[in-house]
Structure 1
């Protein structure tokens, strides 16, 4: 019997590759500046459910004058009155523990800070992870690609394929998708680091919105009503989307409830804690009520151009934000065939909590 006759064609099964590598999809060679950071998706990587841990908030008792962070020769420029700053003359990887504490506080206060001329991308990956581990337990993303051997790094990668760009915008009018990272976890991230590897010459910025200022703009009656409410945050849809695309799911998807208004442990500020990426509904409200209230809050956040900021990437840039009090969106606005490649270090923080409403 011939080999082709042993297994009828209709019954033949093609085994799904267990490892998918971006460099293979580029033909075995790449123009990436940091090829060891190209994403790998390994079907064999499976992780158990995340367990609770005690988070240390390093910004809590930090010196608010920032003597170990903003040393002589450094400069800081605010990008808007309430949100965002840009710093030069500071090398994050060389900070002392006191400097790291002050970094956590500065980022909590300004919500997002861009540091220029950094060496984080050029360090061995493990050294970059060791730096980030000071701020909390590393989160391993359940569905994203990562550098081979380093699942703690979350990668953002678009290789500049123009047909991919066209397909991305084919079903939408805008690329804006406000979200806070993995808020479906019981203990979502806090101080978060994103560093550039390759970027278009123009375009591919990241926008951030200040969720504290979004809360502050609400009327006292609305603020009072929001306190005590909880919302569901779901990772199920993200896992299903990855499966549909032939991607990986490293850990069972989870759903958690978090307060609609959360308190930051270092600043005491209250912030809206809902986002369009993962918040699914308000607990205890009927469907129509939940959709109306959540729709209002998300619309309020998205329209708040006066408490938003747009950060432009440049080689050597590290953007640090507090994921507890911000939401963000990539801006897919270039079609020049250039690569956009970034790496994220995502330390987890405390379980979200709220403090009682205080009348103004």
Structure 2
């Protein structure tokens, strides 16, 4: 009888939380191997749901492995403004150098692509080249941001919806015809101000820099006179968006070459700190198609 060869048990990943709110650095893992191993991937996915953003260092993986890892979460999406690697569709290149267009700033707290009807599930971002100092990224726990809102604000925003726009953000610096074409391709999306996480059932404060206005605020319960709506509704939206800037909800990551971040785009926001000019910063990101918020 032929002996059956048994594979040694996989080393359990070690995850060390980086703050009290979110984020963990993961050790004892080769993400190239995870891209080919379902059991390791499931462990990784569980850690992601728990910590909302995971960080890894010294991951010298290929672009094909990067794409394969992201695709284990789901199909990848392209980006209408940022360019993709020609050999790996869905792997978006975020390269910043002296020739980068000024309108392509990243330093605003945002959840990726909420201007889509189905914003991304999450992203896998790899550092290709980093400045000697600077260029960090900040992530924010928007579950915690909702949880710690005053109760009267929670009552006020229950059931409210907001409009999210690529035209008013990426399109703002384009020529009129280009901007209108972008809007025709991606009409403004409408999402609940408070969404439910489909895996955990948690409530998430779901407005960010792409949100332009509240669409169902102007009711007799909220508006007595004009000032209650303008600027009242705008002030409320700005207050909600500003919650992402509270340090107690944040984690900040210092990039090194071949470090990787994987985040749950449904429950977080992030901010790419642009403090490194004229140094070069090159990142490659695979965004995973998500579901429609409810």
Instruction: String of CA shifts for 1:96-142, please: whole Å, max 9, x gaps.
Output: 2233233223222212111112133xx1x344323211212211111
Q: Determine if contact 1:196/1:343 at 8 Å carries over to the other structure.
A: yes
Which 10-residue stretch deviates more, 143-152 or 211-220? Answer: 143-152
Please name the residue that 2:19 is paired with.
Answer: 80
Unpaired runs of 5+ residues, structure 1, are 1-67, 354-360
Would the aligned equivalents of 2:78 and 2:84 in 1 still touch at CA under 8 Å?
no
Q: Where do 5+ consecutive residues of structure 2 fail to align?
A: 1-8, 218-228
Listed one character per residue, the Cα deviations across residues 26-72 of structure 1 (whole Å, up to 9, x for unaligned) are xxxxxxxxxxxxxxxxxxxxxxxxxxxxxxxxxxxxxxxxxx98x34
Deviations along 1:80-103, one digit per CA (max 9) or x if unpaired, are 012111112211221222332332
Please show how residues 317-332 of structure 1 align to structure 2 within 5 Å: 317-332=259-274
Task: Check whether the contact 1:139–1:152 (CA below 8 A) recurs between aligned residues.
Answer: yes
2:221 equivalent in structure 1: none
Q: Does 1:333 align with 2:272?
A: no
Which residue, out of 202, 206, 214, partners 1:269? 202
Spell out, residue by residue over 1:253-308, the C-alpha distance to the aligned partner (whole angstroms, 9 max, x if none). 221111111111222211100001x1111112244232011011112222x10111
Is 1:279 aligned to residue 211 of structure 2?
yes
How far did 1:164 drift?
A: 6.6
**C-alpha RMSD of the superposition:** 2.7
Partners of 1:81 and 1:272 in 2: CA distance: 19
Name which structure has the greater RCO, CA cutoff 8 Å, separation 6+.
2
Structure 1 counterpart of 2:75, from 109, 112, 137: 137
Q: Which has the higher strand share?
A: 2
Q: Does the residue aligned with 1:313 lie in a helix, a strand or coil?
A: coil
Aligned to 1:128: 66
Name the SS of the counterpart of 2:140 in structure 1: strand
Q: Please say if 1:259 is aligned against 2:192.
A: yes
Contact 1:88 1:117 in 2 (8 A): no
Q: What SS does structure 1 have at the residue aligned with 2:241? A: helix
Structure with greater Cα Rg:
1
For residues 85 and 109 of structure 1, do their structure 2 counterparts lie closer, same or farther at Cα, with a shift above 3 Å needed?
same
Structure 2 residue aligned with 1:308? 250
Does structure 1 conserve the Cα–Cα contact (< 8 Å) formed by 2:165 and 2:211?
Answer: yes
Secondary structure of 1:152 counterpart = strand
> What count of residue pairs does the alignment treat as equivalent?
270
1:214 is aligned to 145
Q: Secondary structure at the match of 2:116?
A: coil
**Secondary structure, aligned partner of 2:143:** helix
Structure 2 counterpart of 1:150: 88
Aligned counterpart in structure 1 of residue 234 of structure 2, from 283, 291, 315: 291
Deviation per residue, 1:174-231 (Å, 9 max, x gap)? x731111101111111131100100012110001111011001112232232221111
The equivalent of 1:98 in structure 2 is: 39
Q: Aligned partners of 2:148 and 2:28: how far apart in 1?
A: 34
Aligned residue for 1:243, secondary structure, equals coil
| Change in CA separation of 1:202 and 1:188 when aligned onto 2, cut-off 3 Å | same
TM-superposed CA distance for 1:243, in Å, is: 3.2
Q: TM-score, normalised by structure 2?
A: 0.83
